Amino acid sequence: MDLTCPIPRQTSPQVLLAHGGGGKLMQDLIDKMFGATFGQTCTGHDAAQLMAPAGDLAFTTDSYVVQPLFFPGGDIGKLAVYGTVNDLAMAGAKPLYLSVGFILEEGLPMETLWQVVHSLAAAAQTVGVQIVTGDTKVVERGKGDGIFINTSGIGTIASPTKIYPGAIQPGDAILVSGDLGRHGIAIMAQREGLALETTIESDCAPLVQPVQDLLTAGIEVHCLRDVTRGGLAAVLNELAIAAGYQFQLDEKQIPITEAVRGACEIFGFDPLHIANEGCFVAIVPPEQAAQSREILQTHQPTAEIIGRVTDIACPGEQLAIAPVIFENSFGVTRILERLSGEQLPRIC
């Protein structure tokens, strides 16, 4: 990947419908932008032909529609790589290959597309994943919103046991890999043009290495989930229902920075409902909880043990048992509900 590749002079300053039309202009875009940045592997044919990896596969897809396209700590290109790579990591997989599909709006400045493409390539290089195939469509002005990106990813599963909600056991410890709320607040502050006291940067980051470190250390990881849309509340409710056991949390252990708390007060958000892009929940046997925290803290010092899986059956959210509760030291409980509606759209 040549990340210094300049914009070729003959390129149109804006994206035209013809850049998605299958003719010379599209071929130019593919050769001069994608070929020059991602390498020729992704431009030669309809489907990439790849060596079969050893072991079972993980396969995932995500579309990215974040607004604004650029925000403190990241942009849609970086997000499109790390978001999908993180979904693979959550299955205990080592990411190998990515596809990239762009849906561009006619009139998009070509300069903006270059910036996003470079950021995407740099992020792929950082995590060591290859962009092997792609697609570009252009829609008329007013029928899209600048850039939408889909990335799909293939990884090879590195975990000796299946990492999924079905492996969650009563007694398991629940950890988060870092402090919550930074991505959502970064987007919101940028969107509203608010200058907070301190600029809060998105936590947008790859989660491959912390997961690999847990596995390498012999942690018997039962379940992993990145804390994205819907925030911690949505993720834990889903996992508790899928596992069939109530989760119990210690609210004061949940890591949230003062800056995020302050911004949440201004915006009227609950940090537990806010999306993150570089934070995950890990569910591990209780006797490995302290070691897991230690490993996670080498990547993000705010990682913490926040609760445990109870033996109270929780067959679904329609019933009397709440999937996720807080319990304080006086035994007083409070339900952690997930939002029904939409708090903050176009976050990823």
Can you tell me whether residue 11 is helix, strand or coil?
coil
Residue with token string 């071929």 = 27
What is the rounded distance in angstroms from the CA atom of residue 173 to the CA atom of residue 284?
5
Query: Does the protein bind a second copy through residue 238 (CB under 8 A)?
Result: yes
For a second copy, the binding residue among 78, 94, 118, 229 (CB under 8 A) is 229
- Per rule CB under 8 A, is residue 16 in the interface with a second copy? yes
- 133 makes contact with a second copy (CB under 8 A): yes
Minimal distance, residue 279 CB to a second copy, in Å:
14
Q: Can residue 132 be called a binding residue for a second copy (CB under 8 A)?
A: yes
E runs forming strands in 158-274:
173-176, 223-226, 245-249
18 makes contact with a second copy (CB under 8 A)? yes
Single out the residue of 24, 193, 195, 332 in contact with a second copy (rule: CB under 8 A).
24
50: CB partners within 8 A, 6+ apart: 96, 97, 132, 154
**Phi (first) and psi of residue 68, to 5 degrees:** -70, 165
Which residue in the set 74, 77, 134, 178 belongs to the binding site for a second copy (CB under 8 A)?
A: 134
* Total number of residues that touch a second copy (CB under 8 A): 89
Of residues 4, 10, 49, 329, which one binds a second copy by CB under 8 A? 49
- The answer to whether 335 and 322 are in contact (CB under 8 A) is yes
Judged by CB under 8 A, the stretch of 43-51, 170-178, 192-200, 307-315 that binds a second copy is 43-51
Closer residue to a second copy, CB minimum distance, 26 or 122 = 26
Joined tokens for residue 3? 């990340």
Distance CA 65, CA 33 (A): 21
- Which one of 44, 171, 218, 315 is in contact with a second copy (CB under 8 A)? 44
Asked whether 38 and 121 are in contact (CB, 8 A), the reply is yes
Q: Give residues 136-195 in contact with a second copy (rule: CB under 8 A).
A: 137-140, 142-145, 148, 150, 152-157, 162, 164-165
177's CB contacts (< 8 A; 6+ apart) are: 207, 210, 279, 280, 281, 282, 296, 299, 300, 303
- Contact letters for a second copy, residues 276-315 (x by CB under 8 A): ----------------------------------------
**Can you spell out the DSSP letters for 176-189?**
ESS-S-HHHHHHHH
Q: Applying CB under 8 A, does 57 fall inside the site for a second copy?
A: yes
60 binds a second copy (CB under 8 A): yes
Which residue, 15 or 295, has its beta carbon nearer to a second copy? 15
**Min separation Cβ 93 and a second copy, Å:** 7
114 binds a second copy per the rule CB under 8 A = no
d(CA 165, CA 44): 40
Question: How far is CA 188 from each of CA 112, 194, 222, 267, 277, rounded to the nearest angstrom?
Answer: 21, 8, 33, 9, 14
Near a second copy in 73-112, by CB under 8 A: 86-88, 90-91, 93, 97, 99-103
